[in-house]
């Protein structure tokens, strides 16, 4: 259906191309250059030093803990968030007044920015302002800090993913269910053998978005935990930020870390595409 | 009646879930007007925390104005780029099409804390430092992956016959876009616009680095400044009030546009 | 198509070279070109000034007072504390620094070394009261015998105690602790009141900056050091330091530290005292007027193991940036800032500590003996500002080696002191 009309195609694509080129490709090239230079935050470029930044970045005492924590956080968030979103989508898929009220209440948190949502939970979790009785330490131990942050993220994003999955559910034709019912399939069987397979494209999209978003997690930890307690919640992007702006003030090393992250994400996403496509065909 | 009774456990369960989701917002609104030590509102209920906010530095009006300007510019830039781009990707085949689309999506994969310094350097060399337009351009760039993707599937969802009919009628491709495709893709447009607005309204780190003039600061930055006071003490009252002021327009806008927004996702049907 | 590509290539080239040029060492002091004077130039220029949010109150008062009495007009930009370094860094890399900017005094050595400030040595010489300006701040702002920084706002650490609670516990409300042991005993006495929501003391158990500010003076008071003079080696395993750690651990074991201390990242470490829930603790002197609103505050200097007194001379220094095109006009502001008009009528009036020893005794300190205590301790020989290029990374940054050391000493394996101290030295020396 798409027409082969290169001139018109490029004409319409020009604004996008310009945007991408000027505000994305050029800065990335500069990041690439920083990553092979001795580039201090205040001192600026002090000449080439490849591959020192990369070896220094990988030798950082927080690098492997940060990788491990980011992966752990990503897995936990993705599993809980998508599981809950699927449950919510199933709950509200029929339309009635009650379900549309439910939909709205699940969706409202996604109108907040991540930073405002984090600030809200920051107050909610603080010993001073918290409405919860007693001295619950929400951010005091590595375990509670992780789960308190996951709670924030689930609250903020569950509605959004619910919506994406709802779209998938609605695109499943009714006669498929009808056929399953006639075959005498139980509810559980229908869900497992009809709904889930047909929902795969939507689930795939959600997984990719959620994994990418979680691997790049920054705002929530920056505001809530600052990587604490005892560096137990330092994510990889936070490490980038810390190397650049808090302490080392070394843009070269931060850029090298970002390049590593970018490469890892590209690989993860290519693998996800492959895996999810492969199963489909 | 009996149907309702059977459904009671489910209503209780789902109602409970809804309360869990609404609770933090309700709590923040109540806490911002309730008495609390260490804030301006230390005894009795009232709007003391909002008064702190209103009189902060240039005054809250200025910050709301800045945020509105940034958000509207971002919406305009994002819509322009994503409509033309989405149209190109959906309706034309041209060399570099897939590559450009993939690079656009790749914006999602870059930790954006990293991009800020290069962007700062770049805006300086373009003469856009410390300007709301420059900030809006950068924020639009961060919106492009989602917006372009959304507009592409929205246009692809428009039935081919409709498009062809428009072209046969003698419309050029641009008039086909304006007359036929845009009206048909309205929910998608609303979704993209809303997302761009919400993102620009709430963003904190980008203006922090790119804007250095107090008079040009957007609201989230003012709230963050207000939060950390002498020796890092946090004024929770002002923070809560700030969150409410930040969230209110978003929630209102969201509720007003919810029908279109949900349809925007549905219409594209994310054919994958 | 080829034109577009050419444009793209040129843009990339421009970007990469321009960035490199900006990043280079273009240290040419771009002054007004005129003669250097003690007062600088007041010709109606617009100046920009950046500071971090915690100093907003004082900065605003100073800027307002200056703008009212001068033709030059200063525009103030306030940035959240945690993001200030990022903002200055972004601006420094591309020549976009404001005319004047303040910096947490412990970061000043790093920033002067990076060449962010203009050389002020000659101008400071011209001030008639040059030798009366706070030495700690001047030393921190000196690099290779050149002076780059003047004190902007001073913040000192002192002991605050709640006189009402002291009376209830049978302690003398006019006598705060004069040794570390007395501090401990008095905190324990308050704790033994057994009052609901009332505790002996408090500290920021997850806040590197707080404990630098409050614990270093306990070491200095007895004449010991926390670092070698070059700031490259940690001496925080000395006998006085060990005594300090032991004291806090004993207070922790006795349950005399208010709950929440272990998670305290510094956001609320002063709140408990203001609410009257804490008996005695080291505290920022800047907050005297705030705390005195709700609590009957007593003030004494921070004591050492065997008495003595010291304070951490913190706060912010200020300098003229390398990028300023109005350095003569900016100097006019700095020169006024250290004058009696600014120090007494603005700084002292807002309840902050003056940064000149000859003005320590002024009409505001005469009204309140507690202010006099603070001013006096500022000029003691044992009161210091620690100087190290890697200070932020070693002490203040979240998850710093110092934080690990403190948490192990108070909550964890106290035996790891030698190892933790080595990690601290590694961070300082790199």
Q: Is the pLDDT of residue B49 over 80?
A: no
What pLDDT is recorded for position B3? 54
What pLDDT is recorded for position A2? 62
- Pairwise pLDDT comparison (C270 vs C151), residue with the higher score: C151
B215 Cα to chain C: minimum distance (Å): 9
- Closest by alpha carbon to A8, among B149, C4, B104, B173? B173
> Residue B237 in contact with residue B52, Cβ under 8 Å?
yes
Contact between chains at B228 and C91 (C-beta distance less than 8 A): no
- Could you name the CATH architecture of A52-280? Orthogonal Bundle (1.10)
**C400 has a chain A CB within 8 A of its CB:** yes
* Stated pTM of the model: 0.84
**C276 has a chain B CB within 8 A of its CB:** no
From A43, A135, A231, residue closest to C259, measured CB to CB: A135
Q: Mean pLDDT across the stretch C176-187?
A: 95
> Residue B132 in contact with residue B66, Cβ under 8 Å?
yes
Q: Is the pLDDT of residue A127 over 80?
A: no
What pLDDT is recorded for position B270? 44
Concatenated DSSP letters for A101-112?
HHHHHHHGGGGS
In CATH, the number for domain B57-268 is 1.10.3720.10
What pLDDT is recorded for position C265? 78
Q: Mean pLDDT across the stretch A150-156?
A: 95
Read off the pLDDT of residues C361-417 as tens digits, 9 standing for 90 and up: 888 888 888 988 998 888 888 898 998 888 888 998 877 899 999 999 999 888 899
**Cβ neighbours of residue B52 under 8 Å, at least 6 residues apart?**
B39, B40, B226, B235, B237, B238, B241
From A23, A31, A167, residue closest to B265, measured CB to CB: A167
> Residue A166 in contact with residue A92, Cβ under 8 Å?
yes
Q: Mean pLDDT across the stretch B99-115?
A: 86
Contact between chains at A127 and C404 (C-beta distance less than 8 A): no
B141 pLDDT band, cuts 50/70/90, is very high
Q: Is the ipTM of this complex over 0.90?
A: no
Side-chain half-sphere of B137: how many Cα atoms within 13 Å?
24
Domain boundaries, chain B: 57-268
Q: What is the C-alpha to C-alpha distance for residues C359 and C405, in angstroms, rounded to an integer?
A: 39
What pLDDT is recorded for position C14? 46
Residues of chain C with pLDDT > 90, as a percent, come to: 53
Interhelix angle C327-337/C56-69, nearest 10 degrees? 110
Contact residues on chain C for B129, CB-CB shorter than 8 A: 96
Q: Is the pLDDT of residue C20 over 50?
A: no
Read off the pLDDT of residues A40-90 as tens digits, 9 standing for 90 and up: 888 778 888 878 889 988 888 889 999 999 999 999 999 999 999 999 999
Q: What is the C-alpha to C-alpha distance for residues C351 and C357, in angstroms, rounded to an integer?
A: 16
From B38, B205, B234, residue closest to C274, measured CB to CB: B38
**B104 has a chain A CB within 8 A of its CB:** yes
**B220 has a chain A CB within 8 A of its CB:** yes
Contact between chains at A251 and B87 (C-beta distance less than 8 A): no
Beta bridge partners of B93: A4
From C91, C93, C267, residue closest to B233, measured CB to CB: C267
**B148 has a chain A CB within 8 A of its CB:** yes
Q: Where are the beta strands (DSSP E) in C301-418?
A: 302-304, 307-310, 314-320
Domain boundaries, chain C: 35-154+314-378, 157-312+399-429
A44 Cα to chain C: minimum distance (Å): 4
Q: Is the pLDDT of residue B1 over 80?
A: no
From A102, A204, A262, residue closest to B109, measured CB to CB: A262
Q: What is the C-alpha to C-alpha distance for residues A151 and A216, in angstroms, rounded to an integer?
A: 17
**Cβ neighbours of residue B240 under 8 Å, at least 6 residues apart?**
A120, A123, A129, B28, B31, B32, B49
Q: Mean pLDDT across the stretch C106-119?
A: 90
**B138 has a chain A CB within 8 A of its CB:** yes
Read off the pLDDT of residues C263-319 as tens digits, 9 standing for 90 and up: 787 777 888 898 889 999 999 988 888 888 889 999 999 999 999 999 999 989 999
Residues of chain B with pLDDT > 90, as a percent, come to: 25
Query: Is residue C193 helix, strand or coil?
Result: coil
Read off the pLDDT of residues C42-74 as tens digits, 9 standing for 90 and up: 999 999 999 987 788 889 899 999 999 999 999
Contact between chains at A226 and C23 (C-beta distance less than 8 A): no
CA angle (B1, B7, B13) in 5-degree steps: 140
Write down the mean pLDDT value for chain C.
86
Domain C157-312+399-429 has CATH 3.40.190.10: yes
Q: What is the C-alpha to C-alpha distance for residues B52 and B64, in angstroms, rounded to an integer?
A: 15
> Residue C201 in contact with residue C280, Cβ under 8 Å?
yes
Q: Is the pLDDT of residue B4 over 50?
A: yes
Strand C73-79 relative to strand C157-162, pairing? unpaired
Domain boundaries, chain A: 52-280
What pLDDT is recorded for position A169? 86
Q: What is the C-alpha to C-alpha distance for residues B77 and A90, in angstroms, rounded to an integer?
A: 36
Task: Return the number of CB contacts < 8 Å for A and C.
Answer: 103
> Residue C329 in contact with residue C32, Cβ under 8 Å?
yes
In CATH, the number for domain C35-154+314-378 is 3.40.190.10
Q: Is the pLDDT of residue A232 over 90?
A: no
Read off the pLDDT of residues A190-229 as tens digits, 9 standing for 90 and up: 888 888 888 888 888 899 889 989 998 888 888 888 777 7
Q: Is the pLDDT of residue B58 over 70?
A: no
Q: What is the C-alpha to C-alpha distance for residues C355 and C136, in angstroms, rounded to an integer?
A: 10
Contact between chains at B234 and C267 (C-beta distance less than 8 A): yes
Interhelix angle B132-157/B236-268, nearest 10 degrees? 30
Write down the mean pLDDT value for chain B.
81
Contact residues on chain C for B117, CB-CB shorter than 8 A: 89-90, 93
Q: What is the C-alpha to C-alpha distance for residues C48 and C64, in angstroms, rounded to an integer?
A: 13
C268 Cα to chain B: minimum distance (Å): 5
- Closest by alpha carbon to C90, among C116, C68, C123, C128? C116
Read off the pLDDT of residues B62-73 as tens digits, 9 standing for 90 and up: 889 999 999 999
């Amino acid at each position: 259906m798409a027409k082969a009309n290169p001139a018109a195609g490029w004409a319409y694509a020009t604004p996008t191309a310009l945007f991408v080129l000027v505000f994305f490709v050029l800065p990335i090239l500069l990041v690439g250059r920083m990553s092979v230079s001795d580039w201090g935050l205040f001192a600026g470029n002090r000449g080439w030093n490849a591959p020192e930044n990369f070896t220094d970045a990988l030798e950082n005492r927080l690098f492997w803990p940060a990788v491990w924590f980011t992966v752990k956080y990503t897995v936990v968030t993705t599993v809980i968030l998508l599981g809950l979103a699927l449950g919510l989508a199933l709950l509200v898929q029929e339309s009635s007044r009650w379900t549309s009220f439910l939909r709205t209440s699940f969706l409202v948190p996604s109108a907040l920015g991540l930073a405002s949502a984090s600030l809200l939970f920051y107050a909610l979790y603080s010993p001073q302002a918290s409405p919860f009785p007693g001295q619950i330490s929400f951010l005091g131990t590595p375990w509670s800090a992780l789960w308190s942050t996951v709670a924030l993220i689930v609250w903020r994003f569950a509605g959004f993913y619910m919506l994406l999955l709802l779209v998938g559910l609605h695109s499943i034709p009714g006669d498929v269910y009808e056929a399953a019912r006639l075959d005498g399939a139980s509810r559980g069987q229908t869900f497992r053998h009809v709904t889930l397979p047909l929902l795969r494209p939507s689930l795939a999209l959600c997984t990719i978005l959620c994994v990418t978003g979680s691997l790049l997690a920054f705002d929530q930890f920056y505001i809530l935990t600052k990587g604490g307690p005892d560096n137990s919640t330092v994510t990889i992007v936070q490490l980038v930020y810390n190397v650049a702006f808090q302490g080392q003030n070394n843009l070269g090393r931060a850029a090298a870390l970002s390049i590593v992250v970018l490469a890892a994400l590209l690989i993860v996403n290519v693998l996800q595409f492959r895996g999810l496509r492969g199963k489909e065909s | 009646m009996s149907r309702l009774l059977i459904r009671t456990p489910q209503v209780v369960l789902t109602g409970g879930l809804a309360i869990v989701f609404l609770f933090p917002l309700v709590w923040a609104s109540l806490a911002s007007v309730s008495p609390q030590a260490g804030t301006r509102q230390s005894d009795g209920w009232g709007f003391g925390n909002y008064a702190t906010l209103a009189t902060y530095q240039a005054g809250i009006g200025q910050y709301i104005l800045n945020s509105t300007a940034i958000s509207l510019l971002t919406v305009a830039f994002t819509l322009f780029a994503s409509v033309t781009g989405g149209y190109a990707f959906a309706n034309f085949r041209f060399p570099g099409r897939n590559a450009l689309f993939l690079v656009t999506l790749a914006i999602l994969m870059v930790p954006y804390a990293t991009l800020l310094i290069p962007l700062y350097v770049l805006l300086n060399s373009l003469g856009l430092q410390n300007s709301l337009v420059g900030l809006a351009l950068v924020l639009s760039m961060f919106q492009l992956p989602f917006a372009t993707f959304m507009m592409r599937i929205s246009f692809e969802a428009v039935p081919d016959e409709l498009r062809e009919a428009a072209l046969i009628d003698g419309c050029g491709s641009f008039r086909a876009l304006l007359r036929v495709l845009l009206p048909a893709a309205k929910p998608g447009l609303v979704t993209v616009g809303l997302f761009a607005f919400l993102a620009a309204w709430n963003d904190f780190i980008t203006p922090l680095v790119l804007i250095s003039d107090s008079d040009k600061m957007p609201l989230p930055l003012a709230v963050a400044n207000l939060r950390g006071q002498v020796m890092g003490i946090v004024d929770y009252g002002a923070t809560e009030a700030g969150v409410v002021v930040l969230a209110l327009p978003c929630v209102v806008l969201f509720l007003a546009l919810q029908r279109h927004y949900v349809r925007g996702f549905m219409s594209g049907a994310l054919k994958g | 198509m080829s034109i577009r590509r050419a444009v793209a290539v040129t843009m990339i080239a421009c970007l990469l070279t321009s960035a490199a040029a900006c990043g280079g060492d273009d240290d040419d002091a771009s002054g007004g070109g005129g003669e250097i004077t003690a007062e600088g130039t007041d010709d109606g220029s617009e100046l920009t000034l950046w500071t971090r949010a915690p100093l907003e109150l004082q900065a605003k008062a100073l800027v307002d007072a200056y703008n009212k009495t001068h033709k030059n007009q200063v525009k103030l930009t306030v940035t959240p504390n945690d993001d200030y370094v990022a903002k200055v860094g972004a601006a420094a890399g591309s020549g976009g620094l404001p005319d004047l900017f303040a910096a947490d005094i412990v970061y000043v050595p790093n920033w002067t070394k990076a060449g962010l400030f203009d050389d002020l040595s000659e101008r400071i010489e011209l001030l008639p009261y040059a030798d009366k300006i706070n030495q700690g701040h001047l030393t921190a702002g000196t690099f290779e015998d050149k002076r780059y920084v003047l004190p902007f706002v001073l913040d000192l650490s002192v002991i605050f105690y709640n006189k009402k609670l002291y009376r209830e516990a049978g302690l003398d409300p006019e006598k705060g602790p004069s040794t570390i042991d007395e501090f401990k005993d008095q905190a324990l006495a308050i704790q033994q009141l057994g009052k609901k929501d009332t505790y002996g003391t408090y500290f920021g158990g997850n806040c590197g900056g707080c404990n630098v500010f409050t614990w270093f003076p306990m070491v200095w008071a007895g004449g010991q050091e926390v670092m070698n003079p070059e700031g490259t080696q940690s001496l925080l395993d000395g006998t006085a330091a060990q005594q300090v750690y032991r004291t806090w651990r004993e207070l922790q074991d006795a349950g005399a530290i208010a709950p929440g201390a272990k998670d305290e990242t510094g956001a609320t470490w002063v709140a408990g005292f203001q609410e009257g829930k804490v008996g005695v603790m080291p505290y920022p002197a800047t907050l005297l007027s705030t705390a005195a609103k709700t609590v009957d505050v007593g003030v004494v200097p921070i004591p050492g193991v065997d008495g003595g007194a010291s304070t951490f001379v913190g706060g912010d220094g200020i300098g003229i940036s390398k990028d300023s095109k109005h350095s003569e006009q900016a100097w006019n502001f700095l020169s006024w800032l250290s004058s009696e008009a600014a120090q007494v009528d603005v700084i002292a009036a807002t309840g902050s500590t003056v940064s000149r020893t000859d003005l320590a005794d002024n009409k505001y300190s005469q009204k309140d003996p507690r202010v006099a205590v603070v001013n006096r301790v500022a000029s003691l020989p044992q009161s210091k500002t620690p100087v190290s290029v890697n200070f932020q990374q070693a002490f203040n940054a979240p998850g710093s080696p110092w934080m690990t050391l403190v948490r192990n000493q108070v909550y964890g394996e106290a035996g790891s002191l030698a190892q933790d101290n080595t990690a601290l030295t590694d961070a300082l020396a790199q």
